[in-house]
Structure 1
Amino acid sequence: MLILKKRVIALTCALLLAGCGGDSNDSSEPAFTTKSALGEALFRDNNLSFNRTQSCATCHSPEHAFIDPRLNAGGEVSAVSRGDDAVSFGDRNAPTAMYAAFSPLFQFGTHARFNSQQPDYSGWLGGQFFDGRADDLQAQAAGPLVNSIEMAMPDKASVIDRVLANSDYVEAFTTIYGSAIFDDVDAAYDAVTDSIATFEKTDAFAPFSSKYDRSLRGEYTYDPLSKAAQGKALFFSQQFTACATCHQLNANSSKTETFTNYEYHNIGVPINTAARALNGAEAGAIDSGLLANNAVTDEAEKGKFKVPTLRNIAVTAPYMHNGVFRDLATVIKFYDHFLTDSNYAINPETGVAWADAEVSATISLTELQDGNKMDDADIDAMVCFLRTLTDERYEALIPDDGLICD
């Protein structure tokens, strides 16, 4: 603590001297005058990782719908992220950070379902991360900085030491959070995570600018004969699909629809053996999902993961909590294979039958076995509709695979 105080005193003196020096920079504006601007700088700052190689933006790139776009040895987007030490890999796919601010606090509760033949939901809801272990965005931001296989800073004090090395940060933190903010490491660390969370609540993360959103504002019209329109009808149908059971939060035409209702389910996702080979997990390792959350103790929750948003889903591959599937059509076929007489008994990415679920005892078969089986035309239609959930900034990232949707 004494070292931190000495560092603050030195930097404060430097700032005061610069202010009295009468040079051409005297009238310059502070680098960061708002929490969100400060949070954006921190979000992008590689210096906040131990080896100074990555930032929050490395695994949640603003240019790539806030996912990790780094490629693996095969030239594809990696299913799991490489850490600051360049050799460690995680076990879960880095989800998009877009629209994350809409997730409710982690809780056990109930909510209505829309366009679903299933009863209203009762169970765990919300939170951040796939297992909800962080209540909110600020708690989520606190994790990666000091995670040994992510940004790998040894402790909070080390993070604050890096902050103190930047005079612009010192000026901003003392102006926004008070002159005594660096007197206590925990308070300073809370200020770091609060500013990052504030940035994550800005429109950059939730522009609501997709074709779907524009259609609600009368700025875009789905051609009624297009594949996208057909897919939209399938998605919101109670009779033909069960998509909306888990991926619709509000009543139809809501302008703040996030396309997840933040439920937790085990949908039978298989182990990603390639990811496990990268991260060196022990043989027989199981991702317990929701049960890994310290607030959850019931074995019936094992293998369940938070339902992800479908916004920008067309540009945020690979898919599932472990990145095991690479193509959006594969994901839809995977869902379909739970239905009687499905046309999709074979995983198109492997050419063999779908691998067994990582956790088989808790699969949400009631939801998965609802709806009618699809054919190739239905799959194309669903992909086309999901592409219209891409925010305008990222439409150029939609795969150019020859599928005509409009």
Structure 2
Amino acid sequence: MKNFQTFAAAAASALLLNACNGSSGNDTADVALYSTKEALGAALFFDTNLSFNRTQSCATCHNPEHSFIDDRENIVEGAVSLGDNGTSLGERNAPTAAYAKFSPHFSLTGAHPKGGQFLDGREDDLKGQAGGPPTNPIEMGMPSKAATVTRIEENSDYVDAFKQLYGDAVFSDAESAYAAMAESIAKFEKTELFAPFDSKYDRYLQGEYTMTSQEELGMALFFSEANTNCATCHQLNSQSETAKETFSSYEFHNIGVPPNTDLYSANTPLAGGVIDDGLFRNPAVSDEAHKGKFKTPTLRNIAVTGPYMHNGVFRGLRTVIEFYDHMGSGDRPENPETGLPWGDPETNATVNRTDLSMPALTDTKIDALVAFLKTLTDKRYEQLLE
């Protein structure tokens, strides 16, 4: 496992050094780590003691050295994550925590449901999301919120920081302390560290980078309604060349993703091919028309955040675009990764075939789209493209 503590210290130093407030007699890094909610959240984000076997932290499944995804190898090739016990497997691919702060609050109004956290939007905000994994039995595995708070109280520096930031009574009940933990992690996830907006695309908008001819073609195709429907779902702002574009509408759609049969065979609870109903698993949703829909992911860092789709069924980014071409035009009947037909959609009845429909793409156009999507990679992750 990578040494996340180095990253944590660097993050605290860069973001929170001004929190020292002239204190003396303390190590500067320690003061920075615990003087603000963001700094406390940074420490908690990397703390493996918040998992039952003390092996897993938030950063384990959201590695800051790899665009905040789980890049660990496992028996399902990273399609889903291993839990703290080293054997349990999740059901869904861990989405990146980068740029997650821009997802709006969950809403069922409008043409399509929108927003929230997790792939089914079941938590309204980052605080709710941060509170989920510690007590999830197949993730960090803590038996209760109270047990998690007990782990926090093992660290006297945490106790002092919690009382300073949330009041002396914060540990009077487990719910209050657990909520404070979740809020501080969410505060950390809202810092610029998670959303630097410094990719080649951003630098291009600022006149600091010149697109190659292939990248320019891909960008033109991406934003062209006549050639693709990419921007229908993967555009937040109304103008195509706008800084701070997250490349997601945050809407929920069923795009016809086939089941990951390898995951089914490896994950005992999924044996027999349990269908993931997506949005329909959200407690706020009761309409069966939403079965099989998942939140549109950001395309920021998409070239380095595979495997793809909610079940990690596709390994490569080019495969994803070929799949869209297949769903939109009927072209490309075989999955290039397997040499076999793509497979039927996991939930066929609710596939959004209207928005998927588009003209067939040539290999040249697909290569250009891949080239453009690579320009959405944060500067510090460009090395991962090689």
Q: Counterparts of 1:8-19 in structure 2 under 5 Å?
A: none
User: What secondary structure sits across from 2:327 in the alignment?
Assistant: coil
User: What secondary structure sits across from 2:113 in the alignment?
Assistant: strand
Q: Counterparts of 1:185-334 in structure 2 under 5 Å?
A: 185-223=174-212, 226-250=213-237, 251-280=239-268, 281-334=270-323
Q: 1:57 aligns with which of 56, 59, 65?
A: 59
Letter in 2 for 1:275: L
Partner of 1:18: none
Q: State the distance in 2 between where 1:340 and 1:60 align.
A: 35
Runs of 4+ in 1 over 3 A off after TM superposition: 25-31
Larger radius of gyration: 1
User: What secondary structure sits across from 2:359 in the alignment?
Assistant: coil
Matched residue pairs, number? 358
Q: State the distance in 1 between where 2:199 and 2:79 align.
A: 25
Deviations 1:5-43 (A, max 9, x none): xxxxxxxxxxxxxxxxxxxx9555635101111101100
Alignment root-mean-square deviation, CA: 1.3
- Alpha-carbon distance, 1:283 to partner: 1.4
Partner of 1:368: 356
Q: State the distance in 2 between where 1:214 and 1:45 align.
A: 34
Q: State the distance in 1 between where 2:314 and 2:308 align.
A: 5
Percent of aligned pairs with the same residue? Answer: 58
Q: State the distance in 1 between where 2:367 and 2:349 align.
A: 32
Letter in 2 for 1:134: E
The answer as to whether partners of 2:74 and 2:82 remain within 8 angstroms in 1 is no
The answer as to whether partners of 1:101 and 1:137 remain within 8 angstroms in 2 is yes
Deviations 1:284-322 (A, max 9, x none): 411000000010000100000000010000000000011
Q: State the distance in 1 between where 2:301 and 2:284 align.
A: 30
The answer as to whether partners of 1:91 and 1:276 remain within 8 angstroms in 2 is no
Change (3 A) 1:73 1:131: closer
Partner of 1:389: 376
Q: State the distance in 1 between where 2:244 and 2:326 align.
A: 31
Q: State the distance in 2 between where 1:137 and 1:339 align.
A: 34
- Alpha-carbon distance, 1:282 to partner: 3.5
TM-score by length of 1: 0.86
Partner of 1:98: 98
Partner of 1:88: 88
Letter in 2 for 1:92: R
Q: Counterparts of 1:28-67 in structure 2 under 5 Å?
A: 28=27, 30=31, 31-67=33-69
Q: State the distance in 2 between where 1:73 and 1:351 align.
A: 21
Deviations 1:39-75 (A, max 9, x none): 011000000000001100000000000000101248x
Q: Counterparts of 1:61-210 in structure 2 under 5 Å?
A: 61-73=63-75, 76=77, 78-110=78-110, 122-210=111-199
More relative contact order, 1 or 2 (CA 8 Å, 6+ apart): 1
Q: State the distance in 1 between where 2:273 and 2:166 align.
A: 47
Change (3 A) 1:380 1:28: closer
Q: State the distance in 2 between where 1:232 and 1:261 align.
A: 18
Unaligned 5+ segments in structure 2 are 1-23
The answer as to whether partners of 1:125 and 1:262 remain within 8 angstroms in 2 is yes
- Alpha-carbon distance, 1:218 to partner: 1.5
Q: State the distance in 2 between where 1:202 and 1:26 align.
A: 28
- Alpha-carbon distance, 1:109 to partner: 2.8
Deviations 1:139-188 (A, max 9, x none): 00110010000000000011100000001111111111111111121111
Choose 274-283 or 249-258, whichever is displaced more: 274-283
Letter in 1 for 2:104: P
User: What secondary structure sits across from 1:152 in the alignment?
Assistant: coil
- Alpha-carbon distance, 1:339 to partner: 3.3
Q: Counterparts of 1:347-366 in structure 2 under 5 Å?
A: 347-366=335-354
- Alpha-carbon distance, 1:197 to partner: 0.1
TM-score by length of 2: 0.90
The answer as to whether partners of 1:92 and 1:321 remain within 8 angstroms in 2 is yes
User: What secondary structure sits across from 1:123 in the alignment?
Assistant: coil
Unaligned 5+ segments in structure 1 are 1-24, 111-121, 401-406
